[in-house]
């Protein structure tokens, strides 16, 4: 998931004296937008039909859970927490992995 634009957005807002809530909202919006753009640009047939808005929102919400704006500034691309959040959301949404449609015996 691409978080660099989101981290830059929150850093800019934090530096301008915006509230924690405003900075978190900016992070959320930027993170979801960049995630959707990156995912749609991959053109992977295995993920055709995925609701990327829903997926990216899920991952972003899991990553942000319980974090302040300053905590969000510490997030780095590729953190294990991001991968774990993505895997949880994939399972919840039903994309990839066992039981998601493609791995059923006899399918």
Confidence band, pLDDT 50/70/90 cuts, at residue 100 = very low
pTM more than 0.85: no
22-36 pLDDT, tens digit per residue, is: 888 999 999 999 999
d(CA 90, CA 83): 10
Q: Answer for the pair 74, 11: CB distance below 8 angstroms, yes or no.
A: no
Average pLDDT, stretch 10-39? Answer: 78
Q: In this predicted structure, what is the pLDDT of residue 98?
A: 45
Report the Cα 10 to chain-centroid distance in Å.
Answer: 15
Q: In this predicted structure, what is the pLDDT of residue 88?
A: 94
Average pLDDT, stretch 46-68? Answer: 90
Please, is 59 exposed, middle or buried when counting C-beta atoms within 10 Å of its C-beta (0-12, 13-18, 19+)?
buried
Q: With 60 as the cut, is the pLDDT of residue 102 above it?
A: no
Per-residue HEC secondary structure of 60-97 comes to: HHHHHCCCCHHHHHCCCCCCHHHHHHHHHHHHHHCCCC
d(CA 95, CA 2): 19
78-92 pLDDT, tens digit per residue, is: 889 989 999 999 899
Look at residues 6, 44, 104, 71 and name the one whose alpha carbon lies nearest to residue 52.
44
Q: With 60 as the cut, is the pLDDT of residue 3 above it?
A: no
d(CA 77, CA 42): 17
Q: Answer for the pair 72, 62: CB distance below 8 angstroms, yes or no.
A: no
């Amino acid at each position: 998931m691409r978080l660099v634009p989101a981290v830059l957005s929150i850093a800019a807002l934090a530096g301008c004296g915006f509230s924690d809530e405003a900075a978190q909202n900016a992070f959320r919006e930027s993170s979801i937008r960049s995630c959707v753009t990156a995912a749609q640009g991959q053109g992977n047939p295995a993920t055709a039909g995925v609701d990327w808005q829903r997926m990216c929102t899920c991952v972003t919400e899991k990553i942000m859970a319980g974090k302040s704006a300053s905590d969000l500034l510490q997030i780095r691309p590729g953190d294990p927490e991001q991968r774990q959040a993505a895997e949880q959301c994939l399972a919840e949404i039903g994309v990839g992995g066992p039981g998601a449609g493609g791995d059923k015996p006899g399918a």
